[in-house]
């Protein structure tokens, strides 16, 4: 049996949904280590693909391939001229948004497209397989690991060949295939009565051996199983099912937010943190005009009128005075925002929200005229001296650019529950594309 067979059969609906429903352009990734494990459930990213149009082309090619059964070679052949025409091909100088370093990097190439195709297809099919295994667990309660013969096998994967364990065993939480770039191992389900691998044998083949891995991009350190590439050390199918677990009680959502929330169960609200160093409440701005409020916001952020700020998810957004003004759907400013005096004092805290958010939510929202707009909400919980702790900064997408739309603290001052409720209902909607570690 070969792991390649899965690409030739009709894909499970869950595999197609996993790939098709990802948010494209919700976040970017300069380095593969920028986005890890469960973060891939929601966001479609490709390292060094730092514009939405490139991601859209690659994503569309993958979705068409999995739906129609196109081969890897067809995918590469059809996508290559599109990427070349847009300049995303070969080696080029690029600036790392995390470090500011400009250096030569590899953009598109046949080898990269091969890796992109194989990795995304295998992860999508893993979602479909896990769903099928769970559905048939009452009659086929065991899973078996199979190593696909290769000229240069990974010795750990070879050692795991034939391991048979209950579907709920902890081994499958970290070793469900694929277990790395280029891994062609696969899993099958077994009927009741199958010979189960003993704990002694699992120890002998190193099933529980781990190594400490530090993500030099984020500073995160965790234990990763020996033989499993970092980023593959989780069960993507199990993680996706967990993200669909409904909340204890029905959630209210604004009627003009299109689609379901992802994850469906709203993540717990974080404990509000202290004011960041150098950030303060500015009651002196209470009666100020939009320009003065933006100047305070701008100074704290380090970006001026019309300048581009690259956010925590490596997405560029444009800031400006209009964030504190009322404006038309076309983007024209008409006057100061209502209640500006009540939000002006939080200018520096709002800048801190954009600079280091607790969450970033990406959604499509309907306008009263029947059109739709992409909305990007930055949410943070920061303790303000006057009793506020929920803060939001919003951007709307227009002609491929994210423009600042508004920034303010939701809910009633001094009433933390109301602030959090208003934030949940109004701004923690759509897809969660970034969560602060």
The first and second tokens of residue 150, run together, are 């290769």
Total-model pTM: 0.81
What's phi and psi for 60, nearest 5 deg?
-60, -40
Same domain, 399 and 302: yes
Tens digit of pLDDT for each residue in 80-121? 999 999 999 999 999 999 899 999 999 999 999 999 999 999
Tens digit of pLDDT for each residue in 205-253? 999 999 999 999 989 999 999 999 999 999 999 988 776 554 444 444 4
Q: Is residue 199 part of a domain?
A: yes
Q: Is residue 249 part of a domain?
A: no
Q: How confident is the model at residue 12 (pLDDT cuts 50, 70, 90)?
A: confident
Last residue of a domain, one of 175, 210, 243: 243
Tens digit of pLDDT for each residue in 133-155? 998 999 999 999 999 988 889 99
Closest CA to 389 of 422, 363, 425: 422
Same domain, 25 and 150: yes
Same domain, 349 and 410: yes
Same domain, 170 and 230: yes
Same domain, 261 and 238: no
- Please identify which residue in the block is written with the tokens 């920028």: 34
Q: Is residue 77 part of a domain?
A: yes
Domain enclosing residue 141, as ranges: 3-243
Same domain, 182 and 304: no
Same domain, 155 and 203: yes
Same domain, 262 and 146: no
pLDDT for the residue numbered 139: 92
Question: What 3-state DSSP class applies to 347?
Answer: helix
CA gap 324, 267 in Å, rounded:
29
Q: 356 Cβ partners below 8 Å, 6+ apart? A: 276, 312, 380, 436
pLDDT for the residue numbered 252: 46
């Amino acid at each position: 049996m070969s792991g390649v067979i899965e690409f030739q059969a009709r894909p499970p609906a869950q595999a197609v949904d996993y790939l098709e429903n990802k948010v494209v352009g919700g976040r970017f990734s300069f380095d593969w280590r920028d986005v890890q494990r469960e973060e891939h459930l929601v966001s479609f990213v490709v390292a060094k693909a730092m514009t939405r149009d490139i991601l859209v082309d690659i994503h569309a090619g993958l979705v068409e391939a999995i739906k129609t059964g196109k081969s890897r070679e067809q995918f590469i052949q059809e996508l290559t001229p599109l990427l070349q025409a847009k300049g995303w091909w070969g080696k080029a100088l690029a600036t790392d948004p995390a470090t500011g370093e400009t250096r030569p990097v590899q953009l598109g190439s046949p080898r990269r497209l091969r890796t992109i195709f194989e990795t995304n297809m295998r992860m999508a099919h893993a979602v479909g397989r896990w769903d099928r295994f769970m559905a048939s667990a009452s009659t086929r309660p065991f899973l078996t690991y199979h190593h696909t013969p290769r000229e240069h096998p990974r010795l750990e994967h070879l050692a795991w060949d034939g391991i048979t364990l209950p579907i709920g065993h902890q081994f499958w939480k970290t070793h469900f295939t694929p277990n790395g770039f280029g891994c062609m191992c696969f899993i099958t389900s077994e009927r009741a009565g199958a010979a189960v691998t003993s704990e002694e044998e699992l120890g002998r083949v190193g099933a529980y051996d781990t190594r400490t891995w530090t993500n030099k991009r984020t500073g995160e350190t965790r234990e990763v199983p020996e033989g499993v590439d970092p980023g593959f050390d989780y069960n993507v199918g199990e993680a996706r099912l967990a993200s669909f677990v409904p909340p204890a009680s029905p959630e209210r959502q604004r009627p003009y937010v299109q689609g379901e929330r992802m994850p469906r169960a709203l993540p717990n609200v974080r404990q509000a943190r202290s004011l960041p160093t150098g950030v303060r409440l500015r009651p002196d701005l209470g009666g100020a005009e939009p320009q003065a409020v933006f100047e305070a916001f701008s100074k704290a952020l380090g970006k001026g009128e019309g300048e581009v700020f690259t956010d925590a998810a490596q997405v560029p957004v444009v800031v400006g005075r209009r964030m504190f003004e009322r404006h038309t759907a076309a983007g024209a400013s008409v006057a100061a925002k209502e209640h500006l005096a009540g939000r002006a004092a939080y200018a520096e805290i709002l800048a801190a929200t954009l600079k280091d958010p607790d969450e970033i939510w990406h959604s499509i929202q309907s306008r009263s005229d029947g059109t739709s707009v992409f909305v990007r909400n930055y949410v943070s919980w920061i303790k303000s001296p006057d009793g506020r702790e929920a803060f939001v900064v919003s951007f709307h997408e227009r002609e491929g650019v994210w423009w600042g739309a508004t920034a303010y603290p939701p809910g009633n001052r001094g009433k933390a529950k109301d602030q959090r409720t208003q934030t949940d209902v109004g701004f923690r909607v759509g897809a969660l594309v970034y969560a602060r570690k």
